Amino acid sequence: MSSLFFLIVSVAFLASVLTMPLGQAKEPGPGFMPLLLSLLMVPISGGLTVKAFVRPGPAVGEPLEKGAGKRIILLVVGLALYCGLLPVVGFLVLTVIFEAIFLKVLGVPRWRTIWIVALAATAGASLVFEVWLLVPFPRGLWWPQ
Q: Are 118 and 96 in contact (CB under 8 A)?
A: yes
Instruction: Note the pLDDT tens digit of each residue in 86-128.
Output: 989 999 999 999 999 989 988 898 999 999 999 999 999 999 9
Q: Give the pLDDT band (50/70/90) at residue 59.
A: low
Instruction: Note the pLDDT tens digit of each residue in 70-91.
Output: 888 888 898 999 999 998 999 9
Q: Are 62 and 52 in contact (CB under 8 A)?
A: no
Distance CA 139, CA 126 (A): 11
pTM: 0.58
Question: Identity (one letter) of the amino acid at 68?
Answer: A
